[in-house]
C-alpha cells in the first residue's frame, strides 16, 4: 500500500512539474484576450523580450495635464505577459496633474524618485486617503479605486509605478464623462452640473453630444 501511495505521489509531482512553464512571452502579432497574449514560440524568444529600455527618458509633458506616463505593459514589454506584473514611469512638470482615474485590472505601487507628489485615492465607502509623498516614499492604490497625483514640487517630479497585472487597464473619470458622445443632458443629470459647465468641459476634452 505504501509503495502504491508513493508511486502515485511521484507521478503527481512529475505531471505537475511538466505543466509548469518558465514564461509566456507575449506574441504581439496575435490579439490580446482576457488572459493576455498567447505565447510566442520558445524558439523565437530572445533576451530582448525580457528587457525594456523605454523608461530611460522622460515622457512628453507638453499636453493639457503637463504630465506623461510611459508604460511597460505587455503590449510594449512582452516579457511580462502572464507574470502578473508591469511597470510605468510618470513624469510631472511644474503645476501638472494626473487626473482622477482607475485601473480595473490591477493594484498599483507608486515610488517617488524625484520631487514631491500629492497623491491620494477614494475608497468604495468614499473615504479619502491623501498624502504628500517625497523622494523615496511609496504609496499603494488598491485595485479599481479612483486615484490621482499632483506635482507638489516647484520643479519636475518623477515616479515609477508598478502594477499587479501585465495589462492593468486605465479609465480617466473626466474622459469617461466629457471626452466622448455621452449626451450632455445625461451628464448634467448624473453629475448635477449645469449645461454651461458640461459644454465647457466637453469643449476642452473633445467630447460631443
Q: Which three cell numbers stand for residue 44?
A: 523565437
Stretch 65-80: mean pLDDT, rounded?
Answer: 98
Whether the Cβ atoms of residue 116 and residue 165 lie closer than 8 Å to each other: no
Whether the Cβ atoms of residue 202 and residue 175 lie closer than 8 Å to each other: no
101 marked ligand binding residue? yes
Asked if pLDDT for residue 8 goes beyond 70, the answer is: no
Asked if pLDDT for residue 141 goes beyond 60, the answer is: yes
3-state helix, strand, coil in the chain (%, to 5): 25, 30, 45
pLDDT for 21: 86
- Residue 15 or 65, more confident: 65
pLDDT for 20: 73
Confidence class of residue 3 from pLDDT cuts 50, 70 and 90? low
Average pLDDT, the chain: 92
pLDDT for 145: 98
Stretch 30-43: mean pLDDT, rounded?
Answer: 93
pLDDT for 32: 92
Asked if pLDDT for residue 15 goes beyond 50, the answer is: no
Could you give the CA distance from residue 78 to residue 82 in angstroms, rounded to a whole number?
Answer: 9
79-96 pLDDT, tens digit per residue, is 999 999 999 999 999 999
Could you give the CA distance from residue 64 to residue 84 in angstroms, rounded to a whole number?
Answer: 32
168-197 pLDDT, tens digit per residue, is 999 999 999 999 999 999 999 999 999 999
Instruction: Write out the DSSP string of 9-62.
Output: HHHHHHHHHHT--S---B-TTSPPBTTBPPBPPGGG--GGGG---TTSS-----
Stretch 125-154: mean pLDDT, rounded?
Answer: 98
pTM for the model: 0.86
17 marked ligand binding residue? no
Amino acid at each position: 500500500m505504501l509503495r502504491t501511495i508513493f508511486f502515485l505521489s511521484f507521478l503527481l509531482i512529475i505531471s505537475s512539474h511538466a505543466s509548469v512553464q518558465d514564461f509566456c512571452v507575449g506574441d504581439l502579432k496575435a490579439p490580446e484576450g482576457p488572459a493576455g497574449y498567447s505565447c510566442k514560440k520558445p524558439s523565437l524568444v530572445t533576451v530582448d523580450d525580457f528587457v525594456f529600455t523605454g523608461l530611460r527618458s522622460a515622457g512628453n509633458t507638453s499636453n493639457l495635464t503637463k504630465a506623461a506616463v510611459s508604460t511597460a505593459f505587455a503590449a510594449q514589454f512582452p516579457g511580462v505577459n502572464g507574470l502578473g506584473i508591469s511597470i510605468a514611469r510618470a513624469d510631472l512638470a511644474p503645476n501638472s496633474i494626473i487626473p482622477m482615474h482607475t485601473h480595473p485590472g490591477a493594484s498599483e505601487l507608486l515610488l517617488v524618485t524625484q520631487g514631491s507628489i500629492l497623491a491620494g485615492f477614494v475608497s468604495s465607502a468614499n473615504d479619502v486617503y491623501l498624502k504628500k509623498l517625497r523622494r523615496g516614499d511609496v504609496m499603494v492604490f488598491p485595485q479599481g479605486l479612483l486615484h490621482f497625483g499632483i506635482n507638489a514640487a516647484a520643479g519636475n517630479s518623477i515616479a515609477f509605478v508598478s502594477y499587479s497585472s501585465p495589462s492593468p487597464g486605465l479609465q480617466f473619470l473626466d474622459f469617461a464623462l466629457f471626452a466622448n458622445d455621452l449626451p450632455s443632458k445625461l451628464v448634467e443629470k448624473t453629475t448635477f452640473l449645469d449645461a454651461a459647465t458640461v459644454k465647457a468641459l466637453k469643449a476642452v476634452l473633445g467630447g460631443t453630444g
